[in-house]
């Protein structure tokens, strides 16, 4: 499922890492932003997992959920911090909305759900 690969607004003007981080952190974050396949998998994971076992409405998704989803789709071990950073960038760009709670949980934004409906 290649949901929004050509339309991911992961802009180059966004900050990469903390200003006090070494250049390697900035390069790693820039690489994450450019990895549209990973972004697609995270978007797909939130959409699919938030719909699983949801009798009424959608369920929030954690970074751990996304980690397991991406690993199962790629058959490769993934770094949780990379998945979390990708989710954070997509959340910042409006793909997901944060759900209050003890841990970071997100759901697809209304805009993303409308876009997915239009593409069907």
pLDDT of the chain along its 120 residues, tens only? 444 433 434 444 444 556 666 666 666 666 655 656 888 899 989 888 888 755 656 788 899 999 999 999 888 899 999 899 899 888 888 888 888 876 778 888 888 877 777 766
Quick one: which H or E segment has residue 105? strand 105-108
CATH topology of domain 37-119: Arc Repressor Mutant, subunit A (1.10.10)
**Exposed, middle or buried by CB within 10 Å (0-12, 13-18, 19+), for 75?**
exposed
């Amino acid at each position: 499922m290649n949901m929004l690969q050509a339309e991911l607004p992961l802009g180059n003007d966004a900050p990469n890492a903390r200003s006090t981080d070494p250049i390697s952190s900035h390069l790693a974050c820039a690489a994450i932003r450019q990895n549209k396949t990973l972004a697609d998998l995270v978007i797909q994971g939130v959409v699919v997992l938030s719909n699983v076992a949801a009798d009424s409405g959608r369920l929030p998704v954690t970074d751990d959920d996304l980690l397991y989803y991406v690993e199962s789709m790629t058959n490769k071990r993934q770094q949780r911090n990379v998945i979390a950073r990708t989710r954070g960038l997509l959340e910042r760009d409006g793909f997901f909305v944060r759900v209050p709670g003890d841990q970071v949980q997100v759901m697809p934004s209304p805009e993303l759900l409308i876009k997915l409906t239009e593409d069907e």
